[in-house]
A = this chain, B = another copy of it.
Amino acid sequence: MNLKQLSSALGLSQTTVSRALNGYPEVSEATRLRVQTAARKHNYNPSSRAKGLATGKALAIGHVIPVSTKHEMVNPIFGDFIAGAGETYSRNGYEMILSIVNDVDEESVYRGLKSRHAVDGVVVHGPTLNDPRIPLLTEIGLPFVVHGRSSGATSPYAWLDVNNKRAFNRAANFLYDLGHRRIGLVNGLEGMDFAHRRRAGYEETLRANGIPIDTALLRSGEMTEDFGFQSTRDMLALERPPTAIITASMISALGVRRAIEDAGLVMGRDVSVLTHDDVLSYLRNGADIPIFTSTRSSVREAGRLLAEMLLAEIAEPSDTPPNLLLEAELMVGLSTGPAPTDMP
């Protein structure tokens, strides 16, 4: 059933039917009702292609997911983020278009989306330091919001981020207050902006408390369970092992935990662990009492909010790009405790 058929079935012009369905005021309420009922009855939905062609809007948002060519790794937060954003889209009649792309030919994907008029805007995932996508999108004039930020960007752009630096300030401070002086960091990949900021927060707080940075306690890599495990195992084998470890995700935290227990130690007593928690649906951090002490910020909620920002920006572009900085919550769980006193 298309518009033509529907309107002739109703004995009305396409114009009137179109107006009735799109809420234009020049249609009598009686007619509108009649049209709406008929549309529902015949299960009529305007073709999005035709609509898009006529209006010049795509009613779609692109998400370009970079898959690192190195490890073929899909960021595990992605599912939850998408779920959050998707809610906003469907509430607003937008479609979500996903492009999985290896990081090499990202540029052409963005250009393609733009020139094919496939989307009205895009979400930039996983920003790096000096992310080239930001100037690119600005140049080609495709509306976008970055999930995260990009240190080094020279002009303003729209973003939504967690205050990673402050989160890790607080994480390090919390451990310091518990008496820990050797605190390891199992961070995400250097080059990722979030990892950079987290490390900055960690180092700042340590320095502020007079603790020199020991690079032996600094690891960075893709946040897999195995990476958490290996990093921790190696650090625990040091002459002066850390008494606490801060890590960047629940998944790596599971690996950290495994290494601690493999070493015959007890998490929360011998070694404290503090993780960032994105509140992924399948990795709930314990129900009442969190297993891991964590800095907590729901990535799903971030998706919801970011999508709203983007849609607002598309509806009426502002002259100063919107920014939103979310604070992470510090949740005390069972994985942290006072620094062991029997250590040197």
Listed in ascending order, the chain A residues whose CB lies under 8 Å from chain B are 1, 43-50, 52-53, 58, 60, 65, 67, 71-76, 78-80, 82-83, 86-87, 89-90, 95-101, 111-112, 115-118, 222-226, 251, 254, 257-258, 261, 280-284, 286-287, 300
**What chain B residues lie within 8 Å of A76 (beta carbons)?**
76, 79, 280, 282
Given contacts A96-B100, A251-B283, 12 further A-B contacts (CB under 8 A): A45-B115, A49-B118, A53-B53, A67-B83, A72-B83, A82-B100, A86-B98, A95-B97, A97-B98, A224-B282, A225-B254, A225-B283
- A284 to B225, Cβ gap below 8 A? yes
Residue of B nearest to A55 (CB): B49
Whole-angstrom CA separation of A226 from B296 in the bound complex: 17
Q: Is the interface of A mostly helix, strand, loop or mixed?
A: mixed
**What chain B residues lie within 8 Å of A224 (beta carbons)?**
281-284
**What chain B residues lie within 8 Å of A251 (beta carbons)?**
282-283
Whole-angstrom CA separation of A197 from B287 in the bound complex: 30
> In angstroms, how far is the closest chain B Cβ from the Cβ of A248?
12
Q: A90 is contacted by which of B1, B58, B99, B225 (Cβ under 8 Å)?
A: B99
Q: A79 is contacted by which of B46, B74, B99, B283 (Cβ under 8 Å)?
A: B74
Residue of B nearest to A257 (CB): B258
Residue of B nearest to A250 (CB): B225
Whole-angstrom CA separation of A287 from B254 in the bound complex: 16
> In angstroms, how far is the closest chain B Cβ from the Cβ of A304?
11
Residue of B nearest to A109 (CB): B90
- A87 to B100, Cβ gap below 8 A? yes
Whole-angstrom CA separation of A25 from B152 in the bound complex: 50
Residue of B nearest to A67 (CB): B83
Residue of B nearest to A286 (CB): B226
- B225 to A116, Cβ gap below 8 A? no
Residue of B nearest to A112 (CB): B45
Whole-angstrom CA separation of A55 from B53 in the bound complex: 14
